[in-house]
Structure 1
Amino acid sequence: MKFGVKGAGPIHFRDEIRRALIFYTVIPVAVVVLAFFAFFIFYAHSSIMEVNQESNRLVCGELERMVDSYGSELIRMWDADSTERLQGNPSRLRQLQTEAIRFIDSMHSQADFYILNSRFEVCVSTAEQRPGFMPPDAGLNWGIVRKMRSRPGEAVFEFTSESTKRENQKALVVGAQLGAASGERYYLFFMVPARYLVDTTCNRPVQVVVTNRYHDVCTSNTNSFTMEFGAAKPEIRQKRAFLSLNDEWYYQYETDILGGEINVYTFTPVKNAMTLFAVDISIFLLVILLIGNISVFGATRVARSKTAVIDQIIRAFEKVKEGNLNTPLNIGAEDELSVIGDSYNLMLESLKEQIERNNQVVRETVYSEIRQLESQFNPHFLFNTLETIKFTVKLEPDIASRMIVALSAILRYSINSQITDVTLEEDLSYIESYLTIQKYRFEDSLFTDIQVDKRALDCIVPKLIFQPVIENAIKYGIGETEVLTIRICVTVADCLLIRVQDDGDGMSREKLEELRNLMKEENRTGKAHFGLYNINRRIKLMYGAQYGVDIDSRQGQGTSVSMRLPVRHKGEKKHDQGSDCGG
């Protein structure tokens, strides 16, 4: 079977099916595989970055915590003591030693505490030997002492060599000078092994290098980035996200802390991840290639087998197009195409029956729309009422109780979906409960006057016919005047005439024309004046186009809404709705 278009060669439907099957099989699989592949890359990259940066933050946080905490403790000691109080006072020195040990325990870290006099003799120590970070010829030009002398009253820090516990390692020394520039001075130190800072905060497969501003390595859990004499390799200072070094690739992250004095580098090896990434690419490509070959082979077979049946279906539809409804379709295949044949035969047999059912469908559609329009209950009224009850229940419980009873009656009436037509008396009873709540809400600002012809009380009206009109009058009238009066008048003549008038501000002629035009729309989705549109639409659907809602208003003189309905008493059958009535 083939189709043709002007100016083009024949198009074989078999080829179209084959191409479609291939396209809708291979392409989605390829997209899914690529999406999974992209997700894998994103997840792996995010995981590497997250673990690396979290390790960096932990090391930075621990370094800053150590320097700040030990420095603050030294300043506290500096503020509490004077050189005169310490000089020749062994008990006070031992007391400082006890306080330092207690503070070190509270920090949950390994540290030693020393107090040196101006001759650099150890006065107090929590260790059994001379400080490992202190050179044998320590003097006033010793690095950290020079810092303390230049900044008296402040805590300073420095990474320096420490050889008492582990050879060729560094220590973080935090110190402060106690005493004036002249006279006896004391030097207070806390010493923390630098390697401890890394080992206790970074237990993940992340390599950490801490350097000072001169790019000397202060501490590290790897030797891969350290040159001879303890300097950091220049490659790590190039501020690149990925670094190639020693036949390995690393993800690198750097943070400057403590006023730029310290640089913290964290490195995550990614060579294995990149190798796994390449293997995954190869596997995914093989999967796509395999699926593609299988799809081409299968699509060709399916297209060949289904084309014959489709030819038969097309010939049958061409006969129907010519007006022949007595051509059954016989498909021997036991697959989805047989459903088309069965449906085709059923269509021919039920065509007349379907035409007859159309009228019933139209009636059901109208009824469904009426039920939908009836369900448009304004939630704002419910929320506002509940808020009013919430505050009234404490101040005026009796009023709150009456409001709850009225609200209960409203909800019980409005949510009863089994009743669509009610008597005017029933709907007036509902609206009295509604007005009871509104009067409590607006107190002395709302008044009503209801006058009803007794012959109209048992007339059948659409359910909830009053509420949208009164709700609209309150919404647009209560804010414009200090006092709003709503008058309801119901009369019976050739038709049932219901008028709802208010003495609010009314509306201009232009606004009135715009509102009347909105009421004529067949399908309205906007929210403005939807209640009036709802009532008008329901009346016309239920009783005919000659009935409905009419609006009249003048600026400064209020608004009048008239609703015309047929006169139908309870228990009577529906009258002829072809007559009209005047207002």
Structure 2
Amino acid sequence: MTPSDQTFQRDVKRTLLRYTFGPVLLLVALFFALVGASWSYYVVMRSDEVRHLAAEVLDETIADYSARADLAASQNYDPDILRTNASARAAVFQYLYHEVNIDKRGTQFFLLDRKKQLVLGSEKALPPALTDVPEGWGVLARFEAHPETVHAEFLRRAADESSSQDLVIGRSLPHGNGYFLFLIPQESLQRSIRSPYLDFVLTDSYGGTPLATGSSYHPAAGHPQTEKLSADIASANRQTVSYGKGLYFVTEEALQEVPWTLYSILPVTDLIGRYRLGALILASLLLLLLPVLYHSVRQESLARAHAVKEEEQRATAMAEIRRLESQFQPHFLFNTLENIRYMVCLDPQAASRMLLALSGLLRYSIRGTSRLVPLAEDLTYTHHYLEIQTYRFGQRLRYQEQIADELSHALIPRLLFQPLLENAIHYGESADGTLTVSLTIRPDGPNRLTVIVKDAGCGMSGEQLEEIRTMLQSGDDSSAHTGLCNIARRLRLLYGKKAGMSIEAPPAGGFCVTLHLPFQEESEERIHAQNHHC
């Protein structure tokens, strides 16, 4: 494998990586970015926002009722007076009834004496959780242990372990005269924090679950308050956990007023299923599109590489054409300069004309404006060449020219005739010393023209003719016929198979070179510009 082939393969691989795998990776990255943004907004941010709002509601509720309980207890109610004084009892009842009905929660209130008997309340009887309690146990015992502090606990409505739990907030009366407490129904708390997006579970200081919303977390047949929080849920803060038959995103937040923790539980089974379905669809599309993209980019890369290679070949051909155009036989220059040196002494005016003709010819040979020129323009400089040769050979040179008038604007390769005429003059000397050379240019159908250069020299043998033909076919210009090789090479570079060159050596003598060229005419705009310039 050549270095150029290796470079080409590296370019193809680089192009494939850039235009095939690059967009694929970008598409995959975009998909995961959208999934990440969706997860961040609909799962993480929503869980944090709604959970924090629910925690604030619970904290405000506990703080509000704690303040009310503290205020009511500080009134120093005497249970014995309230039992006997109807007006005092009515005033206290009206005040407390107003307090519990402010927020429409269905909150109950109870005022007990030191023997834990009901003095007055919103209900005629105490909840079973406050009566069926052994001495030294329960919330009232904790009121006694810390008489100056407001306590908040959840109490069951009935002795049944599966019953709902209501929130109790209260404290002891001054001087141990009794107890005052509010009882907030569980349903009221559930309504205050319920969300259409996610569920909540509240754990108390004992690890129980006295409050829950929604249906995501049911550790005991629909009664979350009967068991402690699942270890999987409790340890999955800001994580996705598998619980039961579903997947849940869990966050937690500690309440400020009490040592309880609120957990948000967001079902994400369906969302993750949609993500997986989207990933499956994307993978399927990529599996279908990747071969198409690969083939398309590969074809484009090959076409681009082929175009680059053609451009390199064209550049090489143009360089070769410029080199061939700039070639002159050294002996022609040396002989011309030598003749000019002699003519300076014999005929200065003739020497001056020879110098002008030579300078015009040299200037034309190195001018790199265009590869193709009008036939009339190239003939002008061909005549400069013939003028120089006429000064060299004098009357011995006999030149004839037959050119169709309609071909004056035909485009031909620059310096096409000079090498052919130089070859004819060099090898066309007859036995009597004359040099007879002819140039014929004629149309050959609507799209071709023919150029014929003949001489009347001694000719050549069949072996020599075949040798020259082989040389022209192979492109080897190491022989003495450099001019012919030059023309053949330029025609191949410029026209490819559209042009041809043939040589003949008739038995009677002489040598004939025939060129067949595509007919291209100079544009009317250029003709008009040249005429206007003239």
TM-score range, shorter chain: 0.5 to 0.7
After superposition, the Cα gap between the structure-2 partners of 1:54 and 1:162, relative to the gap in structure 1 and judged at 3 Å, is: farther
Are 1:62 and 2:62 an aligned pair? no
After superposition, the Cα gap between the structure-2 partners of 1:37 and 1:305, relative to the gap in structure 1 and judged at 3 Å, is: closer
After superposition, the Cα gap between the structure-2 partners of 1:170 and 1:158, relative to the gap in structure 1 and judged at 3 Å, is: same
1:143 to 126, 138, 143: 138
- Map of 1:395-414 to 2, 5 A cutoff? none
Match of 2:184 in 1: 192
- Map of 1:301-316 to 2, 5 A cutoff? 301-307=299-305, 309-316=307-314
Match of 2:399 in 1: none
2:170 to 164, 170, 175: 175
CA contact (8 A) 2:76 2:174 kept: no
Q: Which amino acid aligns with 2:166?
A: A
Q: Which amino acid aligns with 1:39?
A: A
**1:499-526 Cα distance to aligned partner (Å, 9 max, x none):** xxxxxxxxxxxxxxxxxxxxxxxxxxxx
CA contact (8 A) 2:216 2:265 kept: no
- Map of 1:344-423 to 2, 5 A cutoff? none
Secondary structure of the corresponding residue to residue 107 of structure 1: coil
After superposition, the Cα gap between the structure-2 partners of 1:194 and 1:120, relative to the gap in structure 1 and judged at 3 Å, is: same
Taking only aligned residues, the RMSD between alpha carbons, in angstroms, comes to 3.4
CA contact (8 A) 1:58 1:202 kept: no
**1:479-517 Cα distance to aligned partner (Å, 9 max, x none):** xxxxxxxxxxxxxxxxxxxxxxxxxxxxxxxxxxxxxxx
With the length of structure 1 as denominator, give the TM-score of the two structures: 0.48
CA shift, 1:63, in A, is 2.0
2:26 to 12, 29, 32: 32
2:106 to 102, 105, 110: 110
Identical counterparts, % of pairs: 13
Q: What is the rounded CA distance, in whole Å, between the counterparts of 1:41 and 1:93 in structure 2?
A: 64
Ranges in structure 2 where 5+ consecutive residues have no aligned partner: 323-365, 373-534
Q: What is the rounded CA distance, in whole Å, between the counterparts of 1:327 and 1:105 in structure 2?
A: 104
Match of 1:247 in 2: 245
After superposition, the Cα gap between the structure-2 partners of 1:35 and 1:97, relative to the gap in structure 1 and judged at 3 Å, is: farther
Q: What is the rounded CA distance, in whole Å, between the counterparts of 1:112 and 1:64 in structure 2?
A: 19
Q: What is the rounded CA distance, in whole Å, between the counterparts of 2:147 and 2:7 in structure 1?
A: 94
After superposition, the Cα gap between the structure-2 partners of 1:16 and 1:64, relative to the gap in structure 1 and judged at 3 Å, is: same
CA shift, 1:315, in A, is 4.2
Between stretches 231-240 and 205-214, larger displacement belongs to 231-240
Q: What is the rounded CA distance, in whole Å, between the counterparts of 1:35 and 1:153 in structure 2?
A: 61
After superposition, the Cα gap between the structure-2 partners of 1:259 and 1:66, relative to the gap in structure 1 and judged at 3 Å, is: closer
CA shift, 1:327, in A, is 4.3
Are 1:201 and 2:193 an aligned pair? yes
Match of 1:297 in 2: 295
After superposition, the Cα gap between the structure-2 partners of 1:11 and 1:191, relative to the gap in structure 1 and judged at 3 Å, is: same
CA contact (8 A) 1:71 1:174 kept: yes
CA contact (8 A) 2:24 2:286 kept: yes
After superposition, the Cα gap between the structure-2 partners of 1:25 and 1:223, relative to the gap in structure 1 and judged at 3 Å, is: closer
Match of 1:41 in 2: 35
Q: Which amino acid aligns with 1:40?
A: L
After superposition, the Cα gap between the structure-2 partners of 1:132 and 1:205, relative to the gap in structure 1 and judged at 3 Å, is: farther
Secondary structure of the corresponding residue to residue 116 of structure 2: coil
After superposition, the Cα gap between the structure-2 partners of 1:155 and 1:312, relative to the gap in structure 1 and judged at 3 Å, is: same
Secondary structure of the corresponding residue to residue 98 of structure 2: helix
Match of 1:286 in 2: 284
With the length of structure 2 as denominator, give the TM-score of the two structures: 0.52
In the comparison of the two structures, how many residue pairs are matched?
Answer: 318
- Map of 1:70-81 to 2, 5 A cutoff? 70-81=65-76
CA shift, 1:209, in A, is 1.5
**1:339-368 Cα distance to aligned partner (Å, 9 max, x none):** xxxxxxxxxxxxxxxxxxxxxxxxxxxxxx
Highest CA radius of gyration, 1 or 2? 2
2:219 to 221, 226, 237: 226
After superposition, the Cα gap between the structure-2 partners of 1:302 and 1:255, relative to the gap in structure 1 and judged at 3 Å, is: closer
CA contact (8 A) 1:78 1:153 kept: no
CA contact (8 A) 1:209 1:225 kept: no
CA shift, 1:277, in A, is 2.3
CA shift, 1:230, in A, is 0.5
Secondary structure of the corresponding residue to residue 170 of structure 2: strand
CA shift, 1:203, in A, is 1.5
Q: What is the rounded CA distance, in whole Å, between the counterparts of 2:77 and 2:261 in structure 1?
A: 36
Secondary structure of the corresponding residue to residue 200 of structure 1: helix
Q: Which amino acid aligns with 2:156?
A: S
Are 1:274 and 2:269 an aligned pair? no
Between stretches 62-71 and 319-328, larger displacement belongs to 319-328
CA shift, 1:208, in A, is 1.6
Q: What is the rounded CA distance, in whole Å, between the counterparts of 1:296 and 1:234 in structure 2?
A: 52
Q: Which amino acid aligns with 1:231?
A: E
Match of 1:160 in 2: 155
Ranges in structure 1 where 5+ consecutive residues have no aligned partner: 330-583
Secondary structure of the corresponding residue to residue 112 of structure 2: strand
Q: What is the rounded CA distance, in whole Å, between the counterparts of 2:370 and 2:6 in structure 1?
A: 28
**1:355-395 Cα distance to aligned partner (Å, 9 max, x none):** xxxxxxxxxxxxxxxxxxxxxxxxxxxxxxxxxxxxxxxxx
